Homo-oligomer: A and B are copies of this chain.
Amino acid sequence: VAATVTPPKRATYRHGDLRRALIDAGLELARADGPDAVVLREATRRTGVVPNAAYRHFADRNSLLQAVCWEAQRLAAETIEAKLAEVEPDEDAAAWARARVRAVGGGYLCFARHEPGLFLTAFSVPTDMSGITGIDEEGKRRPGPFGLLAQALDDMVLAGALPVERRPGAELLCWSAVHGLATLVLEGPLRAMSDEELASVGERVLDMVDRGV
């Protein structure tokens, strides 16, 4: 859709960090038009480099997409963490834990709304993120979106807000509900929905999860 944006210029022969630059370019493409828009040639073009240069850093187009996908997941996790940080501590531990789970869901929906392309890239590209384990970022291991949810649910159990026997698999219930709403709104038949509508339906979905889990 969008034409080549960045005028490719470079002083040095070596690029510096081409790998990083390609991922960033791919991220922009994904942001604008979703995972299918992560086109190897376009990424190199925007980086001011010849197409095959990418093969020094990625085995093929798919490897690049994979890297972009992880990055998108990391960004999603950041949005969720921001929402989590907004939750103010409550004396009632159960209520607080509950609020945190809601915040995870809210952050997820928020990310879907504001970064539709990245959302699709993060969550509909075949990647194994089912583990609770996280994502590398500058060396540290941090929990991904799924990990944050799992953690919040664990906290609910600790706070006595969720019976232990209901805990296993609870991630899936939460995730399904919220993910479903997100995709229906993004690519599905609910695209016409306004921000307010989404917010209110979002709350209702979270209510349902809260009551039903």
A67 proximal to B (CB < 8 A): no
Residues of A160-213 whose CB lies within 8 A of B:
169, 172-173, 175-184, 187-192, 201, 204-205, 207-213
**Are the C-beta atoms of B177 and A176 separated by less than 8 Å?**
yes
**Are the C-beta atoms of A208 and B177 separated by less than 8 Å?**
yes
A130 proximal to B (CB < 8 A): yes
Interface string of A108-130 (1 = CB under 8 A from B): 00000000000000011011111
Which of B130, B173, B181 meets A205, CB within 8 Å?
A: B173
Cα A146 to Cα B188 with chains together (Å): 12
Contacts A124-B187, A183-B183, A189-B123 given; does A169 touch B201 at CB 8 Å? yes
Which of B179, B189, B212 meets A130, CB within 8 Å?
A: B189
Which of B126, B173, B175 meets A187, CB within 8 Å?
A: B126
Q: Smallest distance from the beta carbon of A201 to chain B beta carbons, Å?
A: 5
Cα A128 to Cα B207 with chains together (Å): 27
Cα A127 to Cα B190 with chains together (Å): 9
Q: Which residues of B contact A204 (CB under 8 A)?
A: 169, 172-173
**Are the C-beta atoms of B124 and A191 separated by less than 8 Å?**
no
**Are the C-beta atoms of A184 and B177 separated by less than 8 Å?**
no
**Are the C-beta atoms of A184 and B188 separated by less than 8 Å?**
no
Cα A183 to Cα B112 with chains together (Å): 15
**Are the C-beta atoms of B179 and A184 separated by less than 8 Å?**
yes
Cα A172 to Cα B185 with chains together (Å): 10
Query: When A and B form their complex, which 10 residue pairs have the shortest distance between CB atoms, in order from nearest?
Result: A180-B180, A212-B212, A208-B212, A176-B180, A176-B181, A179-B180, A211-B212, A177-B177, A129-B189, A130-B189
